[in-house]
Amino acid sequence: MTATPSAPRLGRVPGPAGATPDDLRRHRTARPRRYLMCPPEHFALDYAINAWMTAGDAVDVVRATAQWQALRDTYTALGHEVHVIDPVPGLPDMVFAANGGLVVDGQVMPARFRHAERVGEGPVYREWFRRNGFTPLDSPHVSEGEGDFLVVGRYVLAGTGFRTHHEAHDDAQELLGRPVVTLRLVDPRFYHLDTALAVLDDETVAYYPPAFSPGSLAALRLLFPDAVVAAEPDAMVLGLNAVSDGRHVVLPDTATGLAAQVAARGFVPVPVDLSELRKAGGGPKCCTLELR
């Protein structure tokens, strides 16, 4: 059974009264991470399965690859380790590695995609996990990896409404042994949880309230009373599709308001340009799966 909003409050007061961003920044600690990414070698808009996509729209694969490489270089410059899975022809969305599974404590619940166009990605990612020492624990239900499962400290926030089935939330808790909090998405522009909510550290998140059902929004306010609340202009450029190491927040360069908000909390915003991949509804987080 998934956890309920009565779970302990995860948010924290961002600092003592009168604390400046510099004061807060001194307490932010970056933790080295391991990420999995997939080059956009076969990236295309051959179909439309979310509100951001238009089938047949032109994409510049050279530009997309340069932007992806810049994101990878950003991670390595910040001291993180990046693993790369080989792209497969005919799977243009495989670049969005976050959807490949949920990895916790060396175990992984591999993805099972909702749309037929992406179903082929599941076995490819599952085999990569198996060959690289992760134990696959399969759910029979639709689940789209870190697109809809975000780890916050000891907890997992889990999205449903458009892609991942609610039953997969129960499976994640039983298979991986982490308390799971269900959040329902209601706006098709925010089809995955990672488009509407970003994890900044083990106790802090940023989110866009209109993306959630009334009950889920109430749960977020209870669990994270001091969350960063994103404004519409930043949400509409997928600003919340961000990756944080606890200090640095890698986010789309067009999300300038959100960058200022996280900076005011003592985080260090690291803007990147992923405009070509945004044509398919993706940003930094979509391209990045954390290997825990």
User: Per residue in 232-275, pLDDT tens?
Assistant: 999 999 999 999 999 999 999 999 999 999 999 999 999 999 99
What are the distances in angstroms from CA 181 to CA 82, 150, 160, 223, 258?
Answer: 29, 10, 11, 10, 25
Contact 283, 238 (CB under 8 A): yes
Q: What is the mean pLDDT of residues 19-41?
A: 92
Helix, strand or coil, per DSSP, at residue 81: strand
Residue 193 has pLDDT above 90, yes or no: yes
Residues 6+ apart with CB under 8 A from 98: 145, 146, 147, 194, 285, 286, 287, 288, 289
Beta carbons within 10 angstroms of residue 28's beta carbon: 19
CA atoms within 13 A on the CB side of 78: 27
CA-based nearest residue to 94, from 166, 55, 32, 46? 46
Q: What is the pTM of this model?
A: 0.94
Residue 38 annotated among the catalytic residues of the structure: no
Instruction: Please state, in angstroms and rounded to a whole number, the distance separating the CA atoms of residues 165 and 54.
Output: 25
pLDDT of residue 117: 98
Residues 6+ apart with CB under 8 A from 8: none
Residue 2 has pLDDT above 50, yes or no: no
Beta carbons within 10 angstroms of residue 151's beta carbon: 18
Which one of 169, 192, 248, 287 is the catalytic residue?
192
Domains and CATH numbers, the chain: 21-290 (3.75.10.10)
CA 69 to chain centre: 18
Q: What is the residue-averaged pLDDT of the chain?
A: 94
15 versus 130: the higher-pLDDT residue is 130
What are the distances in angstroms from CA 259 to CA 1, 242, 263, 272?
Answer: 36, 10, 6, 11
Residue 84 has pLDDT above 80, yes or no: yes
CA angle, residues 203, 11, 216, in degrees to nearest 5: 105
Residues 6+ apart with CB under 8 A from 78: 30, 245, 248, 250, 270
Length of the chain: 292
pLDDT of residue 285: 98
Residue 286 annotated among the catalytic residues of the structure: yes
Rg, C-alpha atoms of the chain: 18
Least confident interval from 14-23, 140-149, 159-168: 14-23
Placement of tokens 């306010």 in the chain:
221
Six token digits for residue 19: 């604390």
Q: Percentage of residues in the chain with pLDDT exceeding 90? A: 91
Q: pLDDT grade, residue 10 (50/70/90)?
A: low
DSSP state for residue 9 in the 8-state scheme: P
pLDDT of residue 9: 59
Instruction: Please state, in angstroms and rounded to a whole number, the distance separating the CA atoms of residues 139 and 137.
Output: 7
Q: pLDDT grade, residue 19 (50/70/90)?
A: confident
Residue 4 has pLDDT above 50, yes or no: no
Q: pLDDT grade, residue 121 (50/70/90)?
A: very high
